[in-house]
């Protein structure tokens, strides 16, 4: 079981691409602000400033990450996660939009090279 927990996550990293993984890390920093706005807003997220769309995207990405981790820790599948986890991995890809624009070309290359 322990091998598959880490191997499934490694397959998820390779299937989603390095840009998505870097975006997931960046979405964690946006999520704190989003949770703070959820707590202070009455009935939903307040639209304050330009950070609101990025914070909502970060919550979506982190919700997908929680679903992926729950599927991994529950032992839902062993191997073939590239095929079985496609619905989860699809929601991690928009995290790449949170990366700085000046590094977009480098992240694109970092995601394409392992695929080739």
What ranges do the domains of the chain cover? 7-115
Give the model's pLDDT for residue 49.
53
Q: What is the pLDDT of residues 13-24, one digit of tens each?
A: 888 989 999 999
Q: Output the pLDDT for position 81.
A: 81
Q: What is the pLDDT of residue 35?
A: 74
CA 78 – CA 111 distance, rounded (Å): 24
Residue 65, pLDDT score: 92
What's the CA gap between 34 and 23, in Å, rounded? 16
* Residue-level pLDDT at 48: 52
- Residue ranges in the chain whose pLDDT is less than 50: none
What pLDDT sits at residue 104? 86
Q: What is the pLDDT of residue 46?
A: 53
From 82, 98, 111, select the one nearest 23 (Cα to Cα).
Answer: 98
Q: At what angle do helices 52-73 and 18-40 cross, to 10 degrees?
A: 110
pTM: 0.78
Tokens read off for 43 = 């009935």
Structure-block tokens of residue 53: 């769309």
What is the model's pLDDT at position 1? 86
């Amino acid at each position: 079981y322990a091998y598959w927990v880490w191997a499934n996550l490694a397959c998820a990293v390779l299937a989603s691409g390095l840009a998505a993984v870097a975006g997931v890390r960046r979405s964690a920093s946006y999520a704190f602000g989003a949770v703070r706005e959820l707590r202070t807003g009455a009935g939903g997220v307040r639209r304050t400033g330009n950070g609101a769309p990025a914070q909502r995207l970060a919550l979506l990405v982190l919700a997908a990450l929680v679903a992926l981790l729950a599927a991994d820790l529950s032992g839902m599948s062993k191997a073939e996660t590239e095929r079985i986890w496609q619905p989860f991995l699809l929601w991690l890809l928009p995290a790449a939009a949170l990366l700085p624009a000046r590094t977009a070309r480098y992240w694109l290359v970092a995601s394409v090279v392992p695929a080739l």
